[in-house]
Amino acid sequence: MSVTAPRGFRAAGVVAGLKDSGTRDLALVVNDGPSRAAAGVFTRNRVKAAPVLWTEQVVKGGRLRAVVLNSGGANACTGSDGFQDTHATAEKVAEILADSAGEIAVCSTGLIGERLPMDRLLPGVETAGAELSRGDGGLAAADAIRTTDTVAKIAFRQGEGGYMIGGMAKGAGMLAPSLATMLCVITTDADLDAAALDRALRAATGVTLDRLDADGCMSTNDTVLLMASGASGHTPDEEAFTALLTEVAADLTRQMLVDAEGASKAITIEVVGAGSVDDAVTVGRSIARNNLLKCAVHGEDPNWGRVLSAVGTTDAVFEPDHLNVAINGVWVCRNGSVGDDRDKVDMRPRDVTITVDLSAGPHSATVWTTDLTADYVHENSAYST
């Protein structure tokens, strides 16, 4: 299922030999049409990996025949040679599909600053091309894009009128503003043009994938692609399609949150009473990135002072003595000072919800993050060795 849940798509996930572990590391997703309308959103990091530079150009055309993804190497900070490697990968897919490289997207994830072993990658693309299927292919592809992800992430939803949206994602660390090392491919057999897909994708990711901020580190490789085959023959209402797409993106976001590297808590930060949505997101991100608070949550300490301290670093509209904070439903801070008894807060569940009321307006936003743990330090100390 996953990306092959909607009609018109085939996929494969194979072992190309890029990872030392010998597990699957190359995925291919092909859109057999009749439409090939597509949209994409990318990292806002100014240091962009070669596959991002390539795929941004490709997606500008509004059409994608296929996307090839590899784990085991980010192909970032690899100069013009690295860009040539991405180009050669797209050309190989185009050759297999007898199509144009200009409609082939490429995504990579893994260590920065090393060339990809093209002598293994290109034969891997051939193997993937031979194994494309509608059945197991979607799951194999989701498996092949994992790096430190402990599980493959897939989601799908049925829309009114007989169309489907399916998706796969990877991302366990570097999850921060703008989808950080997050790769995500979403497919649909709805019949929508590229402009409609672009609007829907930006709206859906803006409130889901883009608000997952595990460690504040923005990747060089983030890519989210939306591909439409039109094979259902149905053109859904754009608002309904966006809502369903948001559900799929939220489902994948939740899966990445729960699987984040070394985390023991999934933290939902709800900012309410904000003067604007931007203010709410700014405050939410500031809290999500506060290492001291993340340590406190790890220690099951409802340390609302660290929440206020994080809020105070932003330029959002608020008065310090009008701030209220609830942790798991207990309003431990009222009017910027001590509120209800902090001993009433049950911090034991894996899910922790922090609610901040800025008392400054009617707007709100939710940001997700994780706690900071010794396991996180351990996993990220030894990543490249």
Which of 68, 142, 155, 296 forms a contact with a copy of itself (CB under 8 A)? 296
Which of 308, 356, 365, 367 forms a contact with a copy of itself (CB under 8 A)? 308
Q: By the 8 A CB rule, do 208 and 249 touch? A: yes
Find where tokens 């431990």 sit: 332
Considering only 27-35, 124-132, 244-252, 288-296, which stretch makes contact with a copy of itself by CB under 8 A? 288-296
How many other C-beta atoms lie within 10 A of the C-beta of residue 44? 13
| Sequence ranges of the binding site for substrate | 147, 170, 181, 261, 380, 385
Considering only 22-30, 43-51, 57-65, 98-106, which stretch makes contact with a copy of itself by CB under 8 A? 43-51
Distances (CA, A) of 300 to 264, 265, 297: 10, 9, 5
Q: How far is the CB of 248 from a copy of itself (least distance, A)?
A: 28
Which of 218, 263, 272, 356 forms a contact with a copy of itself (CB under 8 A)? 218
Q: Is the peptide bond before 34 cis (omega within 30 degrees of 0)?
A: yes
In the complex with a copy of itself, which residue's Cβ is closer, 103 or 371? 371
Q: How many residues bind a copy of itself (CB under 8 A)?
A: 68
Catalytic residue among 181, 220, 355, 370: 181
Helices 79-97 and 50-60 pack at an angle, to 10 degrees, of: 50
**354 token code pair:** 């922090």
Find where tokens 């240091």 sit: 47
Q: Compute the Cα dihedral for 294, 296, 302, 303 and give only its sign.
A: negative
Residue type, 138: G
Provide CB contacts within 8 A for 132, sequence distance 6+.
Answer: 10, 11, 12, 28, 30
CA angle, residues 320, 323, 327, in degrees to nearest 5: 135
According to DSSP, the residues that pair with 273 across neighbouring strands are none
If binding is defined by CB under 8 A, does position 150 make contact with a copy of itself?
Answer: no
In the complex with a copy of itself, which residue's Cβ is closer, 114 or 251? 114
Q: Tell me which residue of 217, 331, 327, 320 sits closest to 269, measured CA to CA.
A: 327
In the complex with a copy of itself, which residue's Cβ is closer, 154 or 354? 354
Q: How far is the CB of 383 from a copy of itself (least distance, A)?
A: 7
Q: By the 8 A CB rule, do 184 and 215 touch? A: no
According to DSSP, the residues that pair with 187 across neighbouring strands are 166, 227
In the complex with a copy of itself, which residue's Cβ is closer, 158 or 291? 291
If binding is defined by CB under 8 A, does position 158 make contact with a copy of itself?
Answer: no
Which of 56, 114, 126, 270 forms a contact with a copy of itself (CB under 8 A)? 114
Binding residues for a copy of itself restricted to 335-354, rule: CB under 8 A: 335-338
Q: How far is the CB of 376 from a copy of itself (least distance, A)?
A: 7
If binding is defined by CB under 8 A, does position 277 make contact with a copy of itself?
Answer: no
* CA 59/CA 75 separation, integer angstroms: 19
| DSSP state letters, 101-128 | GGGEEEEEBS-SS----HHHHHHHHHHH
Which of 215, 222, 259, 279 forms a contact with a copy of itself (CB under 8 A)? 215
Residue type, 126: E
If binding is defined by CB under 8 A, does position 304 make contact with a copy of itself?
Answer: yes
Considering only 5-13, 21-29, 97-105, 373-381, which stretch makes contact with a copy of itself by CB under 8 A? 373-381
In the complex with a copy of itself, which residue's Cβ is closer, 186 or 311? 311
Find where tokens 């829309």 sit: 159
Considering only 27-35, 64-72, 155-163, 296-304, which stretch makes contact with a copy of itself by CB under 8 A? 296-304
Distances (CA, A) of 148 to 21, 174, 267, 361: 12, 11, 20, 40
181 is catalytic: yes
In the complex with a copy of itself, which residue's Cβ is closer, 138 or 173? 173
User: Residue 347 — φ and ψ, nearest 5°?
Assistant: -95, 5
> Looking at the annotation, which residues are catalytic?
181
Instruction: Enumerate binding residues for a copy of itself (CB under 8 A).
Output: 44-48, 74, 76-79, 81-82, 111-115, 173-174, 177, 215-220, 289-292, 295-296, 298-299, 301, 303-306, 308-314, 318, 320-321, 323, 333, 335-338, 372-374, 376-385
